[in-house]
Chain A
Amino acid sequence: MIAFIIRRLLQAIVVMLTVALIAFTLFGFVGDPINMMVGIETSAQDRENLRQSLGLNDPVIVQFARFVTHAARLEFGSSYQFKTPVIDLIKDRFPATMELALASALFSLLIGIPMGVYTALHRRSVLSNVFLAASLIGISLPTFLIGILLIFLFPVTLGVLPSFGRGEVVHIGFWSTGLLTASGLKALVLPAVTLGLFQMTLIMRLVRGEMLEVLRTDYIKFARARGLTDHAVNFGHALKNTLVPVMTIAGLQLGSIIAFALITESVFQWPGMGLLFLKAVQNVDIPIMSAYLLLVAFIFVTINLIVDLLYAVVDPRIRIDARPA
């Protein structure tokens, strides 16, 4: 087990270093950072001094090492657009993205699992077919289109629910939350549904598949033979066993929810990290781009690691790496 943990940890570090290398290359490769920082009237001598003081004349490997140590201390430099430290910008917007991501993850689980169970238990019913057809449409529609359709349906046509922003927020320490005000909660509904719909269809299909598989096993037949009620068999025995893979996928999907949040944030003008990143890409604001990249990579790698480790705890077969290295 310890060998397994160490191996996964090393892999995670390699991934992070690779992403750091990409982010670092972005800095050096795309435009001259000095030009981004100073005005046109700065003399060549001053530029050279600045270059020297920033360490841009050092060997590349030294620069990369410095970049990594700075990143580990969450120092990403200042944004070219806002002239403020990137980390402060991200800190401001981090809670908005997290609340959106968690709300949509919750939505997708609370709706997706019951739908999956229903479609598995009542395979031939009309409602199941409706659910399955709807899920195909849910997978086919791009996230931004779902958002626009929802805006068209609710705020525009029916005149309910806000279509942009976060509503009123309450500050608790550095965390700003919209969960404690009525307008904040209302503003959360449409973005969370937009972001969660795709995951919901995914979870529904997954639960359905796993349930169908489990319902065919011998211990379910045995449980029925013992005369247990349908309810006890379906929920006590079958559903419980489908939840392990579902939790894995749900965990892994949390990472992509955070990444995909940027599309939803753009549609609903939700003031999160994704919107910040988007503006950075449009304006070639490299410090924000590389910081966001590293942050998302870190979240992904951490979630992957936790899921892998949890899985290894649950299922001992996974600890042995069967793949030839």
Chain B
Amino acid sequence: MATEASEAPLTRRPTRLASFLDSDVAYSFLHSRITIVAAIVALVIVAAALFAPVIATQDPYDLRQLSIIDSHIPPVWQADGDKRFLLGTDDQGRDVFSTILYGSRQSIAIGIVSTLFAAALGIALGLIAGYAGGAIDTVIMRAADIQSTFPAILIAMLIDGTSRALFGQQRHDNVVFWVMVLSIGLSFWVQYARTVRGSTLVEKSKDYVLAARLIGIRPGLILLRHVLPNVVGPVLVIATINLALAIITEATLSFLGLGLPSTQPSLGTLIQIGQKYLFAGEWWIAIFPGATLAALVLAVNLLGDWLRDALNPRLR
């Protein structure tokens, strides 16, 4: 087999796509049915969220399109259903299907941006701690130790509460997206920092780093250009699994009334609104957003698990 491959004419170099399809990662993906299903589910939800303005039958942010007369309508297939509202309407007459699309948008956007923020912060601190060592290392890692004794959700709540006090309720609603990103991002940096610090400690004693230092490259450049690419693998896995956690955290905060307000709802806010009407038999307001959230998080988790096994980095 090996000789056959080497005798093949070298004129046609494999395209990037072809070489990717030939890799171990692609192989394990194509041979794990559940991962493919998870990827499809995630893709469908993300695409639906992305194209929400096109797909949605109503803009839930546009108060002119809402009518209180249309409120509390059950899904189409029930006796009192209305053809205009596939999954029914909520207490303000918003189409549940459309609000789920727009809500997923909020949830996914906050999840991704806060995960990127946490990763960037954690990677930067981990690189600095690992490379600098000494007192800087001690301070950063002790801070990480202290923070990791608290559940992330508490830290996020605290940051949210503080910003609520600083901005006041009205202004808080305007900046709530960034407050959420900040509070979730600051709660999840520790794991990245620990992992990156560990690998940086290993990398910095290697010859290529020594060589780079000898020819006088600045430490910042060494870290960015030389060390970072070699430590970033495990970070990818943590980021995928943390994306699910970030989405859950955002949903939880919104559900508790600390996240997105009901005028610009995320999935968590929708579930909070729907919870009030469960006993009135209006299950669709809470259950549909809940199912969307569960499917999204489960799909991302499955993808994260697969990525961890496929890349098989040193963490577990």
Query: Which residues of A does B touch, CB under 8 Å?
Result: 11, 14-15, 18-19, 22, 26, 29-31, 136-137, 139-145, 148-149, 151-152, 155-156, 163, 256, 259-260, 262-263, 266-267, 278, 280-282, 284, 286, 289, 293, 296-297, 300-301, 304, 325
Contacts and interface: CB of A to CB of B under 8 A. Distances in A.
Nearest to A304: B149
Interface string B153-173: 110011011101110000000
B293 A289 contact: no
A14 B165 CA distance: 27
B244 interface: yes
A281 B157 contact: yes
B146 A136 contact: no
Contacts of B142: 14
Contacts of A289: 158, 161
Given A137-B298, A142-B248, A281 B278 contact: no
A282 B257 contact: yes
Interface string B165-193: 11000000000000000000000000000
11 contacts: A19-B146, A31-B165, A140-B294, A141-B294, A142-B248, A142-B293, A156-B278, A256-B151, A263-B252, A281-B258, A297-B149
B271 interface: yes
A145 B271 contact: yes
B294 A15 contact: no
Contacts of B294: 137, 140-141, 145
Interface of B: 138, 142, 145-146, 149-151, 153-154, 157-158, 160-162, 164-166, 244, 248, 251-252, 255-258, 268, 271, 275, 278-279, 281, 283, 286-287, 290, 293-294, 297-298, 301-302
A266 B161 CA distance: 16
A312 B297 CA distance: 38
A260 B153 contact: yes
Q: Which 6 A-B pairs have the closest CB atoms?
A: A281-B161, A30-B165, A140-B298, A284-B165, A142-B248, A259-B151
B143 to A, nearest CB: 8
B201 to A, nearest CB: 9
Contacts of A284: 161, 164-165
A195 to B, nearest CB: 13
Contact of B146 (A15, A137, A143): A15
A144 B271 contact: yes
A71 to B, nearest CB: 17
Given A11-B145, A286-B165, 9 more contacts: A140-B297, A142-B248, A144-B251, A144-B255, A144-B271, A260-B153, A280-B161, A282-B164, A296-B150
A76 to B, nearest CB: 16
A103 B283 CA distance: 29
A26 B283 contact: no
Contact of A263 (B256, B275, B302): B256
Nearest to A149: B290
A152 B278 CA distance: 7
A15 B158 CA distance: 17
B241 to A, nearest CB: 10
Nearest to B247: A142
A296 B161 contact: no
Contacts of A143: 252
B150 A140 contact: no
B256 A152 contact: no
Contacts of B166: 30
Contacts of A156: 278-279, 281, 283
Contacts of A280: 161
B162 A260 contact: no
A259 B301 contact: no
B293 A145 contact: yes
B297 A142 contact: yes
A13 B283 CA distance: 49
B159 to A, nearest CB: 10
Contact of B297 (A141, A260, A263): A141
A80 to B, nearest CB: 11
A274 B155 CA distance: 14
Contacts of A151: 275, 278
Contact of B150 (A31, A139, A297): A297
A300 B256 contact: no
B256 A266 contact: yes
B256 A296 contact: no
Contacts of B160: 281
Nearest to B133: A324
Nearest to B300: A140
